[in-house]
């Protein structure tokens, strides 16, 4: 199943959605996004932990509505 990261889950105000076939793929694309859009040369360990925690299966991410939790 595809994975998705909504950047706003870790960087409020950013509407980017990063998709990949695996967590590794999403993390690679997230690093590229962080460098290009957030001027981050590298992702600090604490932020990486938050990013990993925010990656969801794409179907799961679509079924959740903003401001709700399951």
pTM of the model: 0.81
Q: In this structure, are residues 30 and 43 in contact, taking their beta carbons and an 8 Å threshold? A: yes
Q: In this structure, are residues 57 and 1 in contact, taking their beta carbons and an 8 Å threshold? A: yes
Residue whose pair of structure tokens reads 């969801």 in the numeric block: 56
pLDDT tier, 68 (very low <50, low <70, confident <90, very high otherwise): very low
Alpha helices (H) along 1-57: 23-38, 45-54
Cα separation, 15 vs 22, in Å, equals 21
Residue in 43, 1, 37 with CA at minimum distance from that of residue 16 = 37
Residue 67: is its pLDDT beyond 60? no
Predicted confidence (pLDDT) per residue in 11-65, tens digit? 999 999 999 999 999 999 999 999 999 999 999 999 999 999 999 998 875 555 4
């Amino acid at each position: 199943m595809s994975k998705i990261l909504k950047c706003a889950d870790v960087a409020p105000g950013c509407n980017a959605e990063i998709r990949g076939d695996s967590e590794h793929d999403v993390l690679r694309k997230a690093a590229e996004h962080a460098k290009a859009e957030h001027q981050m040369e590298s992702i600090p360990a604490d932020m990486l932990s938050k990013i990993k925690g925010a990656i969801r299966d794409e179907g799961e991410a679509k079924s959740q509505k903003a401001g709700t939790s399951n």
